[in-house]
Structure 1
Amino acid sequence: MPHAPVIRAPEPREAEVLARLHVETWRETYAGQLPDEYFGERMLEHRRTMWTRLVADRRDDLRLAVAEADGCLVGFACSGRPQDPEHPPRLRQLYMVYVSRTHHGTGAGQALLDAVLGDEPAYLWVAKENPRAQAFYARNGFAFDGAEHPDERVESFIEARMVR
């Protein structure tokens, strides 16, 4: 079993590694739910741009954390102000928690969630076809509130909102 990872803030020089890890964890999580091109070069470039911006952003409301094990990044999490344009159910949104499959069960996901949310009230969007993530969030006090929407690029990919 892999060692428990160290949780820390990401460094700007890690944007490329985070972009690649992001695409890889999506492939592990959503293969069969999203088209193969979703995990290709175009998405990698989009994630490079996103992570370069995120690791350089010093907004007070943005919280980023990475999980590092044996000198390699194996997970990441991010939360911040609500992205929903109207009537967000909470003042903080969990944007993402992803951990490489090889580090599932090591406590990395829990440590990342704790680092970017603690026990604060928050909400998130989770894929309806992701029971592992749904169970994780439920263990952390989140419950579905009935709101759902399709992904803007893949309408068959439905996300449901969970709130605590």
Structure 2
Amino acid sequence: MICIRRARPADAAAIGAVHVATWRTTYAGVLPEGYLAGLSTFRHATGYEAAIGDRRHGHAVFVAVAKGADAPAGQEETEGGTIIGFVSGGRSRRPQIGEGEVETLYLLDDYRDRGVGRRLMRAMAAHLAAIGCRSAMLWVLKDNPTRWFYGRLGGRLVAREAIRFAGQGLEQLAFTWDPIEALLLATAPAPEV
């Protein structure tokens, strides 16, 4: 079973580990190998611990937790299960693109194409709507091989931006859902047959 819940401070280490693991697989060949090798689970965990406690600007973090047969093989399952993905966001840093922003969405490779990313996006969309955001947006690197996911959820490409990251020039893309109900509808659970 996989459940989605609000993150707790004790989840920070597992969230940091998911962040590092997903970046190393998703951005291999996109970002420098030395940069990816130097990613620190501890540093990311420290940042996520602060993010979990920071409710300013409507910020929230949700996690996907696998239990029982859905838990990753070879990993010790804690009492509450194993964190396999997460999403974070809050009020947008660029309100002219969207009122709410999905800042991060990371999911371990073995759990892709199983509806978990969609469920994490729904949790964030519902949160953003609950804090009064009428639209949502996110940035994704153009070379991210999973960027198609946002288009499949009905996100509209509305902006491109050149950035410098890890010592190199990259392009990022902004997707938006306006109104936010479009994202809620796109991530609604499928009716049972």
Between structure 1 and structure 2, the one with the greater Rg is 2
Percent sequence identity is: 28
Q: Pick from 48, 58, 76 the counterpart of residue 86 of structure 2.
A: 76
CA distance in 2, matches of 1:43, 1:102: 21
Q: Is 1:111 paired with 2:125?
A: no
CA distance 1:44–1:157, shift in 2 (3 Å): farther
> Compared with structure 1, are the counterparts of its residues 32 and 152 closer, same or farther at alpha carbon in structure 2 (3 Å cutoff)?
closer
How does the TM-score come out when normalised to structure 1? Answer: 0.85
Residues in 1 aligned to 2:144 and 2:29: alpha-carbon distance in whole angstroms? 12
Aligned length: 158
Q: Say whether residues 1:143 and 2:172 are aligned partners.
A: no
Q: How far apart, CA to CA, are the structure 2 residues paired with 1:79 and 1:143?
A: 18
Contact 1:79 1:117 in 2 (8 A): no
**CA apart distance, 1:38:** 2.5
Distance 1:139 1:123, change over 3 A: same
Provide the alpha-carbon RMSD of the alignment. Answer: 2.0
Q: Which runs of 5+ in 1 are unaligned?
A: none
Q: What's 1:123 paired with?
A: 137
Q: Deviations over 1:69-116 (max 9, x none)?
A: 1221100001112224xx631111110111100001111100000001
When residues 42 and 106 of structure 1 are mapped into structure 2, their CA distance, relative to the original with a 3 A threshold, is closer
Q: Cα deviation per residue 1:117-144 (whole Å; 9 max; x = unaligned)?
A: 14752111111112422x2111222111
- The one-letter code sitting in structure 1 at the alignment partner of 2:115 is G
Name the counterpart of 1:161.
174
How far is the alpha carbon of 1:151 from its aligned partner?
Answer: 3.6
Alignment correspondent of 2:32? 35
- Which structure has the higher relative contact order (CA within 8 Å, separation 6+)? 1
| Match of residue 191 from structure 2 | none
**Residue pair 2:100, 2:135 contacting (<8 A) in 1 also:** yes
TM-score for both structures, normalised by structure 2:
0.73
